[in-house]
Structure 1
Amino acid sequence: MGRTVAIGLQDFSDVIEKNIFYVDKTDFIKRWWDQNDAVTLITRPRRFGKTLTMSMVERFFSVKYAGMPNVFQNLKIWNDERYHKIQGTYPVIFLSFAKVKDTTYTEASKNICKIISDTYKEHEYILCNGTLSEDDKTMFRKHSNELAENEAKDAISDLARLMYKCYGKKAIILLDEYDTPMQEAYVNGYWQEIVNFLRSLFNSTFKTNPYIERGILTGITRVSKESIFSDLNNLAVVTTISDKYADCFGFTESEVKSALNEQGVGDFEAVKKWYDGFIFGSIKDIYNPWSVISYLQSGNLEAYWANSSSNTLVSKLVREGEPELKEKMELLCAGKSIWSEIDEQIVYNQLDLGEVAIFSLLVASGYLKIISRDDSNVADLAVEPLYELALTNLEVLSMFRKLFSDWFANTPIKEGRFVTALFNQDIKMLNIYMNDIAVSTFSSFDVGVAPSQRAPERFYHGFVLGLMAETVRNYVLTSNRESGYGRYDVMMEPRNKSDKAVIIEFKVFDEETEKSLEDTLTAALKQIEDKKYDQTLIDRGIHADNILKYGFVFQGKKVLIGAK
């Protein structure tokens, strides 16, 4: 009988002692320790085992567990006798910023101070060591009761100093989810304040601290050195593009096959389509551990990982992004790949300045995978390499469809009425619905760089993504593709060739050349005919009488729809 499958356990001792299903990743301890890096930053997507790994490292090295190697004795790390001697021999300080999700800087800084103060409480046992002075004990008790913001900067290094006095060894310092406060600060508008605070804290803890033996930071993103790590020149950075520790987070294909066999669950090919696709360094076929474990427990193929977060930042960036960004998202959701530069160093306060930063964040977060790399012009033109990107797997595709659909929650698109009117050629209701949709959602797209100037385009491309999400079962929706003698705006091709197809031409009212929206509509419908936009559909076996042709024209938030 297979081990018990449980979701969300992050305490390593609990997992092993309760015989919970676990894929042995203890070899990470050996590889990390042998590497001898002073401070290591490891980035992986959320729910990829980072916290469990940090708990494992703490459980292995901490003096709290001296002479208690039982949880490791049947695992890979215990095969190397050298590690028997160092188990339980170092003071370890383990913190997590995972819960720092506050909407103001004041609350975020208080939260961080409380986390550090609580860490002191976890180590109250050192007060009984007998080597600390009364001043040391007074400071310890003060920090464990309440920590002021101006005291937080040096508090972790102070704790390491006290541990050194007690044990004669420098401390291993582990910080999990280091970048969560910065993501929240970006979304909620207190970026610079949190950066100033954390820069000082990180410098004191990981750079100028004479009592640190080794350090590990984990997070989703590599925040730019200029933002937060400008003083840390001793940082070994391991991102999803790096080969180092590539198979230590997530499940390999062989591990997934073994898990399915142990639990007696399984349609391997379906699991592969849904949860495979992550690529770390040169290792392909990395599976999402959260989703695989959830599948082992339930036996159902669902979007477990993608729906375990609100995806607020991703939704905001794509919704408010330029039309070109949305066009590329349309291609990705249609199963195509795109090419882009990638910058591993994320600058959160510049995310709204260009699509490279956004695609870089999507790669780091696990929503996009790197298929190939083009270095052809790097040497001659001194440009950055280009990366071919695609959605990671079916689970991520499912997430984006839901995200785009939710942009139009409580509108006729989400409720299906708009699509019904579209195929019934109900022009009156289409105009009512589309104007309602524009009024209720237009402003959410009219933000970012140069607001209002490209608002109709931003709204239109957002509308296309929403329409794509709502009609995917019966239609293949594409936009801005070549057909006939020009580029159509939207084409809805039925999966059943006997069903009706739709072509939509979008136009914005031009006050210099047109007197009214009616003139714009006439031009849009004429363009469909003149450019023979229906030719692609006809070539694919759709009868001309089954092709509906619409013009959608905009003047600010006002929309007029007509049909040919």
Structure 2
Amino acid sequence: MKRELPIGIDNYRELKEKNYYVVDKSNLIKDFLSNGIKVTLITRPRRFGKTINLSMLAEFLDMRKESKKLFEDTDIMKTTYMTELNQHPVIFLSFKECKGSKQNLVKNMKLEIAREFERYKDVLKREDMNRLEQSLYDFLMPRLYNCMDEDVFGLDDTLSFLMQRIYNVSGKTVYLILDEYDTPFIESHIHGYYSEVKDTFSSMLSKSLKGNPYLNKAMMTGIQRIAKENIFSGLNNLFVCTVKDEEYAKYFGFTTEETKHLLKNYDLTLNEHVKAMYDGYQFGSIEIYNPWSIINYASTKRLEAYWVNTSENKMIRSSIRKRGLGFSIYFQNLIENGYVDAFTKLQSSFYEEEADESLWGLFVNAGYLKIERVLRGDEMRLKIPNEEVRMEFKSIVSAFLEVGENDIITMLNALLQGKLSEFEMFYRQMLLKLPSSFDLQRENSYHMMMLGMCAFLYEDYEVLSNREAGNGRSDICLKARRANQLQVLMEFKYTKDKNQNLKELAEIALKQIDDKNYAAELSLPVLKIGLAHRGKDLELAACLCES
């Protein structure tokens, strides 16, 4: 009997007790305990197993739990570190639900911290405290337990106070395990109250991590390192593990062998179609598959896009609207070629440092791009990792062009229905709406813009650009995935000459499609379109071949 797949479950105890399919990542515990690093921050995209791994680590170490049965068949129990099982005080927090409005974010943060206070209520007996501790206790508890009050004053002392009390009673220093530590920073930035909460949140982490004699070790996960809020400044024993590093590379996401084994268990194979859809990530030197997508594919048996980002998607969409001409040119190159060579900062947050290199770093850290290779210094070749992410780029392209997704879909539907006058009208309207930062000084500008919009057609069409066809390279080919479906060839022309007749230029583009036999390998029907541009002016010529 096949084990049930754990879709949406990220609690390690629940996974093991209910006998879900689990990929053993327990040697992460050995790697964490065996190094001399005080604070480890691992940056990875969402949906790559961060919460499950930290839940596993907390379950293993926590002296208040009985976890032997949960680990009896795992790799960690074959090592000398098996003796560390349930031997240490642990504070485990996940800020993944700290989202939305200020009231909702603060409420969920207080609830998360208060749950740990409840777990350790035996060390929080007021009569056992000295006068200073009693004073702090009396100050903190009403504020922490008033979850509906969005006031964050005093919240910064809660964790360090709890760690002190745990040590005073148990005589043991504390392991602090913090999942999605940066979600409150990202969400407060998106929703406009970052300046109201950042000092308190930063101070809470700083007091817990820096110079805290009650801290044994800490592991944190997030999307990016938050640099400027001084959380990590002065930490001499800090390791920030990015997607470039070998350390912990195999523990977040599925390796090729893990993916093959999982799919085989559910009567599936790791074929070229699955690889194209979900492969493409590389952490350190290890090829990694998106675990969320693989598990969903194994469950549904449907090759679809399952990975959808939220917070980072919103931040990227809002941010690219603010970038200048320089970023626009690089982004157009990315859409056209599937890769871009750009200076990239992985260890800074875009909302702290609104520079192009920080935005490219956010693309990488959020999982939208992968580092194919380092060119020199901080200059890297960045690539769209797979077809699933390419499909998610639709919303990003829409934001980049400042055109609504529905407008793009309406225009493309008119094209595929052969309603060329409507297509021309919608396309002309889009050109007029384009932001001034969009480069319309060359033929490739229009080519890349249309290429980006054609990403919306992925489910029905293979979108090909500058591929060899006939006796040359066609600009854009929409190759139908189903028989008897309309296929489309587009050729672009551009002129600065105000005396050039655009209609004649469009006819020249259309003639080029025939002269170079671009349609040679396409089955009928084929719609051939020549598009001529001058700034935001447009003419087209078209021919439908049905027999």
1:365-380 paired onto structure 2 within 5 Å: 365-375=366-376
Match of 1:275 in 2: 278
Q: Which residue of the other structure, out of 397, 406, 409, is the alignment partner of 2:405?
A: 409
Q: Which residue of the other structure, out of 188, 197, 200, is the alignment partner of 1:197?
A: 200
Match of 2:181 in 1: 178
Contact 1:506 1:552 in 2 (8 A): yes
Match of 1:20 in 2: 20
Match of 2:74 in 1: 75
Q: Which residue of the other structure, out of 288, 302, 305, is the alignment partner of 2:304?
A: 302
Match of 1:398 in 2: 391
Match of 1:99 in 2: 97
C-alpha separation in 1, matches of 2:513 and 2:486: 15
CA RMSD of aligned residues (A): 4.0
1:90 aligned onto 2:88: yes
1:115 aligned onto 2:103: no
How far apart are 1:416 and its partner, in Å?
3.7
How far apart are 1:388 and its partner, in Å?
2.1
Match of 1:539 in 2: 516
Match of 2:211 in 1: 208
How far apart are 1:432 and its partner, in Å?
4.0
1:318-337 paired onto structure 2 within 5 Å: 318=320, 321-322=323-324, 325=327, 328-329=330-331, 331-333=333-335, 336-337=338-339
How far apart are 1:217 and its partner, in Å?
1.2
Match of 2:147 in 1: none
Contact 1:338 1:389 in 2 (8 A): yes
Contact 2:46 2:309 in 1 (8 A): no
Q: How big is each residue's C-alpha offset from its partner over 1:406-465, in whole Å with a ceiling of 9 and x where there is no partner? A: 8533326436444258x5553xx45643465567xx3xx64xxxxx46587899689525
Contact 2:506 2:540 in 1 (8 A): no
Contact 2:189 2:351 in 1 (8 A): yes
Q: Secondary structure at 2:48's aligned position in 1? A: coil
C-alpha separation in 2, matches of 1:3 and 1:348: 41
Flag the 1:523–1:351 CA change in 2: closer, same or farther, 3 A.
farther
> Among the aligned pairs, what percent are the same residue?
28
How far apart are 1:31 and its partner, in Å?
0.9
Contact 1:43 1:218 in 2 (8 A): yes
How far apart are 1:471 and its partner, in Å?
4.8
Flag the 1:492–1:81 CA change in 2: closer, same or farther, 3 A.
closer
Q: Secondary structure at 2:251's aligned position in 1? A: coil
Amino acid at match of 1:30: K
Amino acid at match of 2:30: K
Flag the 1:335–1:438 CA change in 2: closer, same or farther, 3 A.
closer
How far apart are 1:7 and its partner, in Å?
0.6
Q: Structure 1 length as normaliser, TM-score?
A: 0.79
1:30 aligned onto 2:26: no
Flag the 1:498–1:398 CA change in 2: closer, same or farther, 3 A.
closer
Amino acid at match of 2:405: A
Amino acid at match of 2:531: Y
Unmatched 5+ residue regions in structure 1?
376-383, 447-451
Contact 2:328 2:438 in 1 (8 A): no
C-alpha separation in 1, matches of 2:503 and 2:320: 30
Q: How big is each residue's C-alpha offset from its partner over 1:64-106, in whole Å with a ceiling of 9 and x where there is no partner? A: 11x542211221111124432x2222111111211122345x6
C-alpha separation in 1, matches of 2:447 and 2:188: 28
Amino acid at match of 2:98: V
1:342 aligned onto 2:339: no
C-alpha separation in 1, matches of 2:538 and 2:141: 65
How far apart are 1:323 and its partner, in Å?
5.5
1:137-286 paired onto structure 2 within 5 Å: 139-140=136-137, 143-147=140-144, 149-224=152-227, 228-283=231-286, 285-286=287-288
Q: How big is each residue's C-alpha offset from its partner over 1:459-488, in whole Å with a ceiling of 9 and x where there is no partner? A: 968952553224555574659x9xx9xxx9
Contact 2:414 2:420 in 1 (8 A): no
How far apart are 1:178 and its partner, in Å?
0.9
Flag the 1:372–1:416 CA change in 2: closer, same or farther, 3 A.
closer
Amino acid at match of 1:235: L
Amino acid at match of 1:69: K
How far apart are 1:17 and its partner, in Å?
1.3
Q: Structure 2 length as normaliser, TM-score?
A: 0.81
Contact 2:411 2:427 in 1 (8 A): no
Flag the 1:315–1:461 CA change in 2: closer, same or farther, 3 A.
farther
Count of aligned pairs between the two proteins: 519
C-alpha separation in 2, matches of 1:339 and 1:122: 50
